[in-house]
Amino acid sequence: MICSIVPPYLLRRLAAQDEPRLRAVAVAAKESLLHIKELQAVRSAPAPAARPAARQARPGGPHRTIYDAQGVEQLPGKLVRKEGAAATGDVAADEAYEGLGSTYSLYADVFGRDSIDGAGLPLDATVHYGRLYDNAFWDGQQMVFGDGDGEVFQRFTKSLSVIGHELAHGVTQFTAGLAYRNQAGALNESMSDVFGVLVEQYFKKQSASEANWLIGEGLFTNHVQGVALRSMKAPGTAYDDDVLGKDPQPDSMDTYVRTSADNGGVHINSGIPNKAFYVVASELGGNAWEAPGQIWYGTLTSGTLPPACTFGKFARTTLATAEELFGAGSAEHDAVRKAWDTVKVRV
């Protein structure tokens, strides 16, 4: 399963541009769309079976390896940094290394999970992938980062939430195995957004009220009227730009988007469960990686989510997890119920 951070609908908008200053961007967007499609066709094998939800033995630390593709689309590329080695001086390589470490730390420190698969999976990443490559993705085995086109997107290692987001696809792959289509796919994307912001908040030691709840802050250049790819706090408000259009994410089932594009709207409709998580964190206050994160992580690793999970099934499982962890009628249980009511998902 290939999961990329930039939604296809944004790449299609860029691919359609014919202004002189955007011609190189349009070409880059077309190539990115074609490349993701080709990768998905090649890597169509089922994801590994879900693993038990039991807590692992004490994590032993990350095992990171960073490669440099040197502007071509071949993986993994030239080895430039191994675990424990000094910084390379290449900003993208060093950002990738640190981002992998920050992601590992969240799962290890907060959830007792040893890497992405729970069994110490080495964390590999390739930077400088392709030329003007407008994306970052998890390919089922490793992280891959483009440098952006310089006109719309900057380098994709610049955002810690993006690194956390993409690696979280790996966690979902090794746990619930949510299908990447329709509501299950939107939940897959949402889980990555949730853990992407938690990686960033845990690294910065930000409370729920201090955090900005943005996915991909800093990716856009100053030519773009927007702050990030998505906002969990206010889906549909991350950007409003002449080139990119307006952020299309809904924030409740009232505006759920029914579409066959983007695997049934996985990047668009993820705004609904994203908002639900934000409401839980906002209601409870404090650190979102604590009670809210434990509820969502417990749900993801519960072993009860079907691959074709719906929003309703996921919501009911979060309620059951909150009750198991904190008790019926607890503030945590009530916050979860209020969150799903807010986004109008029936439980």
Q: Which SS3 state, helix, strand or coil, does residue 34 take? A: helix
Q: Rounded CA gap, 14 and 94, in Å?
A: 29
Contact 163, 104 (CB under 8 A): no
Helix, strand, or coil here: 78?
Answer: strand
Give the Cβ contact number of residue 70 at 10 Å.
Answer: 13
Q: Hey, CA dihedral for 41, 27, 126, 225, is it positive or negative?
A: negative
Single-letter amino acid code for the residue at 326: F
Buried b (16+ CB within 10 A) or exposed e, 42-68: eeeeebeebeebeebeebeebbbbbbb
Residue 105, classified by CB atoms within 10 Å of its CB into exposed (0-12), middle (13-18) or buried (19+), is: middle
- CA distances (Å), origin 14, targets 8, 27, 246: 10, 9, 13
The catalytic position among 169, 267, 332, 333 is 267
**DSSP letter string, 148-199:** --SSSB--GGG-HHHHHHHHHHHHHHHTT---SSHHHHHHHHHHHHHHHHHH
Handedness of CA 158, 164, 165, 170 (dihedral sign): positive
Q: Could you confirm whether 267 is annotated as catalytic?
A: yes
Neighbours of 258 (CB within 10 A): 8
Place of tokens 């879900």: 50
Annotated catalytic residue within 95, 151, 166, 332: 166
Strand 214-215, strand 143-145: pairing:
unpaired
What residues act catalytically?
166, 267
